[in-house]
Amino acid sequence: MYPLLEVRLVRPLILEKDSIIMSKDETLLYCSNCQKKVNWHVKPVNHSRHLIIAICTLGMWLPAWLGLSLLKLKYCDHCESTLSGD
Ligand SMILES: [Zn+2]
Averaged pLDDT in 10-residue chunks for the chain of 86 residues: 57 48 63 93 90 97 92 90 76
Helix, strand or coil for residue 81? coil
> Distance between CA atoms of 45 and 72, rounded to whole angstroms?
8
Q: How far is the CA of 70 from the centre of ligand 1 (A)?
A: 23
Q: How far is the CA of 7 from the centre of ligand 1 (A)?
A: 47
> Distance between CA atoms of 68 and 82, rounded to whole angstroms?
13
Q: How far is the CA of 38 from the centre of ligand 1 (A)?
A: 7
In the chain, domain spans: 3-83
> Which residues on adjacent β-strands are paired with residue 31?
36
Residue 22's pLDDT is what?
Answer: 40
User: How many Cβ atoms are within 10 Å of 67's Cβ, its own excluded?
Assistant: 9
> Distance between CA atoms of 68 and 80, rounded to whole angstroms?
16
Total-model pTM: 0.50
